[in-house]
Structure 1
Amino acid sequence: MFENFKLKSVNKKITEIEAQIVSNQKEIIRMEKKLSEIPENIESLKKILKITDERTQEYINDNGHDDFSNKIIDASLNRSAKIYYLEEDLKRIPEIIKSLKAELFDLEKEYKKEKLKEKVYSLTEGKQISV
């Protein structure tokens, strides 16, 4: 009876670890995808920003400052901020991925240990074993 409880407990732990492993793997894939897309997004935003800045300057030269030019300038500032945050992500995400992979390694070690326990408990279920 006690062995059966141990086996159920180990099986529950294995299921939890499997879920954590899958979740961790998905997060690594998501982060790697995001990391691969960032340079393209930065370049795209820089091109848009350059064109917008040129056209804004032309508009201001022709019409002076007004609400419309201020809105365009605000949009440019937002794009500049977005570029900054993407560049920061570019620096930060590799460390996150490294941490996730280390966590995944630990989870896989724990999983193997629990699978071994499961095997021992299932082989010894209901038997008295002396060591």
Structure 2
Amino acid sequence: MLQLNKIHHIAIICSNYDISKRFYTEILGFKIISEVYRKERDSYKLDLSLNGTYCIELFSFPNPPQRVSQPEACGLRHLAFEVDAVEFTRDFLISNNIPCEIIRTDEFTNKRFFFISDPDNLPIEFYEKE
């Protein structure tokens, strides 16, 4: 059987590089590992880490096609982050003008969670620590 070790990274193509870079670094707190402009592609590639672990590649491309991104659409459902304090996280995001859904409770785990959308409408979930 195939042996996978872990998820290496998540790649996100954004429509507005500066807005998405600010969102992921200044709002969500990812740290920049490296940032490269690839002239031949007219594209930025931003490598981001969370708590010292490389996990997101943020790309810009000229005129990327739109994709359906609602949580119930076929394909990537959402990106989820574990948080210690759901209310604090939601309050912080709201204070930074990020619209947040209401806090819900998972009927199977009894853990609380809520959703936001990134600048390109990618659903992001914040889930209470296990």
TM superposition score normalised by structure 1: 0.19
Question: Which has the larger helix fraction?
Answer: 1
- Give the structure with higher Rg (CA): 1
Q: Give the strand-richer structure, 1 or 2.
A: 2
Q: Which has the higher contact order (CA 8 A, sep 6+)?
A: 1
TM-score normalised by length of structure 2: 0.19
